[in-house]
């Protein structure tokens, strides 16, 4: 295979070089080596889900569970459904809490819509130039310049010579010697191995990211097979996902179960056809788009899925601290936070929000940059909370205005309450009215995390989250946490001819 050249006209600055050891016999990448590439790979963990889905839409339309349906639903919401105009932007293009670091990547795959930072005279920061500071009243007219002149060395220190296997495990040179790497990777005959050099541009890096959601051999696919689009089919079959017993998260606490929704379930198929929910549940779903990939991967350990990004996550977690620039940088990857201002008040998912500090005319989220003589509070820049841009409602908690009711399908298509959508779902699933029953369920921390993982790895998020627990609820709650209302659609007054065939 000849050396791969970057596409013509591509900005040559935005290209990195990889050395790969390739097994010609099996036509597979054994591993690659490149310090610049390591940083790019690690930066995947910091990217918010909404941005990844957006990049997939623009380049490699891979299906990541239900996330695409979710973001498309958000984009179709009427502007009046949101608390403010900014809320829609926050969901369709959420900010990365490691953005200040990622601006120094040698290869920037997410640079088309860069995040900008504005401040008033002194107290608040905003991602938007519009609006005025709630404290001093000045507009956000000062753009804070971000230093992106020192390219490279973003997360890793020095030149660590880490190697990356085809399934994105990152192995230190010491580790490689200890584990007989070659035999572990299935190399038996060195006559067939060959060292190749590849150039990786933005498109190749995007392809790699997207392949790593659906393949265990993404490097082979993008470097050797040159497959432009991963197979889209039913790559994340919902069958066989066993999330329940392996989930991280707290056990059920009755007091916190404050989100309630109605599931419409097919008795014979044992699936959730759709749900009817208030804005609190849809806010929770929307918040999935703001979560960094690393946070989601941390919650889905040992869940079997098609991709290999979990290997990347585990490798970084196990990586000796000496290879990373600091503990702060490790935390950005394995314990990523929401970008400042993106916190969703309902703490069901338990993710923290980063803070901005303005130190020596520079913006940072690294607390260790604060000099000893200053307190964190004195240099902290509060974020003008975009969720309350317009209604100035201090109690504004979510992205959507309430009260509102929504229809949510099993694969997370969300619409303001829509009987047409509900009917079409039943019709598509071939579920007659006589086969459905309604269940009221509550969502606490455990269910929220289950739902997050189910919506990431499969396309039956509601079924995978709730169906098993419905069985146990039926046994345990004879009084009827579970309510049955067979085919009772009369309250919706569905009498129009278009439904008569049902
Ligand atoms: Zn101000």
- pLDDT tens per residue across all 502 residues of the chain: 444 444 434 455 789 999 999 988 888 898 999 989 999 999 999 999 999 999 988 888 788 999 999 999 999 999 999 988 888 888 989 999 999 999 999 998 888 788 999 998 878 899 888 878 888 888 888 899 887 777 778 999 988 889 999 999 999 877 666 666 777 776 777 778 899 999 999 999 999 999 999 899 999 999 998 765 554 444 344 433 444 433 444 444 555 557 999 999 999 999 999 999 999 999 999 999 999 999 999 998 778 888 999 999 999 999 999 999 999 999 999 999 999 988 877 678 989 999 999 998 889 999 999 999 988 888 998 888 766 544 455 444 789 988 999 999 999 999 999 999 999 999 999 999 999 999 999 999 989 999 999 999 989 999 999 987 776 554 443 332 232 222 222 222 222 222 222 2
Q: Are residues 81 and 199 in the same domain?
A: yes
What spacing in Å lies between the alpha carbon of 120 and ligand 1's midpoint? Answer: 5
What spacing in Å lies between the alpha carbon of 126 and ligand 1's midpoint? Answer: 10
- Cβ neighbours around 329 below 10 Å, total: 18
Q: Are residues 362 and 477 in the same domain?
A: no
- Cβ neighbours around 324 below 10 Å, total: 21
Give domain status of residue 5, yes or no: no
Q: Are residues 280 and 297 in the same domain?
A: no
What spacing in Å lies between the alpha carbon of 134 and ligand 1's midpoint? Answer: 7
Report pLDDT digits (tens) over 199-239: 999 999 999 999 999 899 999 999 998 765 554 444 344 43
Q: How far is CA 8 from the centre of its chain?
A: 31
Give domain status of residue 358, yes or no: yes
pLDDT of residue 177: 65
The torsion region of residue 410 among left (phi > 0), alpha (psi -120 to 50) and beta comes to alpha
What spacing in Å lies between the alpha carbon of 380 and ligand 1's midpoint? Answer: 13
Strand ordering across the sheet containing 193-200: 170-171, 163-165, 28-33, 16-23, 193-200
Q: Are residues 76 and 152 in the same domain?
A: yes
Q: In whole angstroms, give the CA distance from residue 323 to residue 128.
A: 36
Structural domain ending residue among the three candidates 343, 367, 388 = 388
Which has the closest alpha carbon to 226: 5, 479, 495, 471?
5
What spacing in Å lies between the alpha carbon of 265 and ligand 1's midpoint? Answer: 51
* Residue 109 β-bridge partners: none
Structural domain ending residue among the three candidates 339, 359, 388 = 388
CA dihedral 481, 482, 485, 491 (to 10 degrees): 50
Which has the closest alpha carbon to 87: 352, 290, 280, 278?
290
What spacing in Å lies between the alpha carbon of 372 and ligand 1's midpoint? Answer: 25
Q: Are residues 281 and 416 in the same domain?
A: yes
Give domain status of residue 39, yes or no: yes
Strands 163-165 and 142-143: unpaired
What spacing in Å lies between the alpha carbon of 352 and ligand 1's midpoint? Answer: 24
pLDDT of residue 477: 38
Q: How far is CA 386 from CA 73, 84, 94, 336, 356, in A?
A: 20, 7, 12, 21, 15
Structural domain ending residue among the three candidates 337, 366, 388 = 388
Q: Are residues 199 and 269 in the same domain?
A: no
What spacing in Å lies between the alpha carbon of 357 and ligand 1's midpoint? Answer: 15
Give domain status of residue 2, yes or no: no
Q: Are residues 272 and 160 in the same domain?
A: no
The torsion region of residue 322 among left (phi > 0), alpha (psi -120 to 50) and beta comes to alpha
Residues with beta carbon < 5 A to ion ligand 1?
A: 120, 123-124, 133, 135-136
Give domain status of residue 1, yes or no: no
* Residue 265 β-bridge partners: 272, 437
Residue with tokens 């579920």: 431
Q: Are residues 414 and 461 in the same domain?
A: yes
Q: Are residues 281 and 296 in the same domain?
A: no
What spacing in Å lies between the alpha carbon of 83 and ligand 1's midpoint? Answer: 22
* Residue 200 β-bridge partners: 16
What spacing in Å lies between the alpha carbon of 55 and ligand 1's midpoint? Answer: 34
Q: In whole angstroms, give the CA distance from residue 96 to residue 94.
A: 7
What spacing in Å lies between the alpha carbon of 135 and ligand 1's midpoint? Answer: 5
Q: Are residues 278 and 305 in the same domain?
A: no
Cβ contact 120:140 at 8 Å? yes
What spacing in Å lies between the alpha carbon of 111 and ligand 1's midpoint? Answer: 29
What spacing in Å lies between the alpha carbon of 70 and ligand 1's midpoint? Answer: 35
Backbone angles phi, psi at 50, to 5 degrees: -60, -40
Give domain status of residue 239, yes or no: no
Q: What's the number of domains the chain is made of?
A: 2
What spacing in Å lies between the alpha carbon of 494 and ligand 1's midpoint? Answer: 54
Q: Are residues 413 and 363 in the same domain?
A: no
What spacing in Å lies between the alpha carbon of 47 and ligand 1's midpoint? Answer: 29
What spacing in Å lies between the alpha carbon of 218 and ligand 1's midpoint? Answer: 47
What spacing in Å lies between the alpha carbon of 375 and ligand 1's midpoint? Answer: 19
pLDDT of residue 178: 60
Q: In whole angstroms, give the CA distance from residue 100 to residue 118.
A: 14
What spacing in Å lies between the alpha carbon of 138 and ligand 1's midpoint? Answer: 6
Q: In whole angstroms, give the CA distance from residue 63 to residue 50.
A: 13
CA dihedral 414, 297, 342, 36 (to 10 degrees): -120
What spacing in Å lies between the alpha carbon of 87 and ligand 1's midpoint? Answer: 21
The sign of the dihedral angle between the CA atoms of 52, 58, 60, 66 is: positive
Q: Are residues 56 and 202 in the same domain?
A: yes
Cβ contact 333:155 at 8 Å? yes
* Length of the chain measured in residues: 502
User: E strands along 137-270, which residues?
Assistant: 142-143, 163-165, 170-171, 193-200, 259-266
Give domain status of residue 405, yes or no: yes
Domain that holds residue 20: 12-234+292-388
Cβ contact 148:103 at 8 Å? yes
Tokens standing for residue 324: 């990373």
Give domain status of residue 4, yes or no: no
Q: In whole angstroms, give the CA distance from residue 405 to residue 358.
A: 41
Strands 118-119 and 414-416: unpaired
What spacing in Å lies between the alpha carbon of 341 and ligand 1's midpoint? Answer: 16
Q: In whole angstroms, give the CA distance from residue 309 to residue 334.
A: 12
Which has the closest alpha carbon to 235: 54, 64, 47?
64
pTM: 0.86
HEC letters along 438-453: EEEEEECHHHHHHHHH
User: Which residues touch 330 (CB under 8 Å, ≥6 apart)?
Assistant: 316, 319, 321, 324
């Amino acid at each position: 295979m000849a050396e791969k050249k970057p596409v013509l006209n591509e900005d040559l600055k935005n290209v990195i070089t990889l050395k790969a050891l390739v097994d010609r016999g099996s036509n597979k990448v054994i591993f690659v080596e490149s310090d610049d590439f390591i940083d790019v790979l690690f930066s995947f963990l910091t990217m918010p889900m909404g941005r990844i889905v957006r990049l997939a839409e623009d380049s490699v339309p891979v299906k990541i569970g239900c996330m695409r349906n979710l973001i498309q639903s958000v984009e179709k919401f009427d502007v009046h459904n949101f608390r403010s105009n900014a809320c829609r932007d926050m969901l369709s293009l959420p900010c990365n809490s490691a953005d200040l670091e990622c601006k120094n990547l040698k290869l920037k795959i997410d640079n088309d819509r860069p995040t900008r930072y504005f401040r008033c005279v002194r107290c608040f920061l905003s991602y938007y130039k519009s609006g005025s500071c709630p404290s001093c009243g000045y507009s956000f007219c000062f753009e804070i310049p971000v230093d992106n002149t020192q390219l490279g060395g973003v997360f890793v220190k020095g030149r660590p010579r880490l190697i990356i296997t085809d399934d994105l495990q990152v192995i230190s040179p010491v580790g490689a010697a200890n584990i007989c790497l070659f035999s572990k990777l299935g190399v038996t005959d060195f006559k067939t191995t060959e060292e190749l050099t590849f150039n990786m541009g933005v498109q190749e890096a995007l392809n790699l990211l997207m392949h790593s959601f659906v393949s265990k051999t993404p490097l082979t696919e993008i470097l050797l097979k040159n497959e432009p689009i991963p197979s889209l089919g039913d790559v994340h079959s919902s069958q066989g996902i066993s999330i329940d017993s392996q989930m991280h998260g707290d056990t059920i606490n009755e007091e916190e179960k404050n989100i309630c929704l109605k599931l419409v379930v097919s008795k014979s198929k044992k699936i959730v056809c759709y749900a009817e929910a208030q804005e609190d549940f849809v806010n929770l779903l929307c918040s999935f788009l703001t979560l960094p990939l690393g946070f989601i991967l941390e919650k889905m350990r040992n869940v079997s899925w098609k991709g290999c990004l979990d290997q990347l996550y585990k490798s970084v977690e196990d990586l000796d601290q000496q290879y990373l620039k600091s503990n702060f940088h490790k935390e950005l990857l394995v314990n990523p936070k929401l970008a400042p201002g993106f916190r969703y008040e309902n703490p069901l998912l338990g993710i923290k929000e980063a803070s901005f500090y303005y130190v020596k005319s520079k913006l940072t989220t690294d607390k260790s940059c604060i000099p000893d003589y200053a307190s964190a509070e004195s240099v902290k820049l509060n974020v003008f909370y975009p969720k309350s841009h317009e209604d100035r409602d201090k109690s504004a908690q979510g992205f959507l205005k309430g009260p509102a009711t929504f229809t949510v399908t099993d694969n997370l298509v969300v619409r303001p309450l829509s009987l047409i959508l509900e009917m079409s779902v039943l019709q598509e699933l071939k579920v007659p009215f006589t086969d459905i029953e309604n269940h009221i369920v509550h969502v606490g921390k455990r269910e929220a995390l289950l739902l997050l993982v189910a919506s990431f790895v499969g396309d039956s998020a509601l079924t995978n989250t709730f169906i098993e627990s419905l069985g146990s609820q039926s046994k345990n709650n004879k009084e009827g946490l579970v309510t049955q209302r067979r085919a009772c659609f009369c309250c919706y007054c569905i009498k129009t001819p278009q439904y008569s065939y049902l």
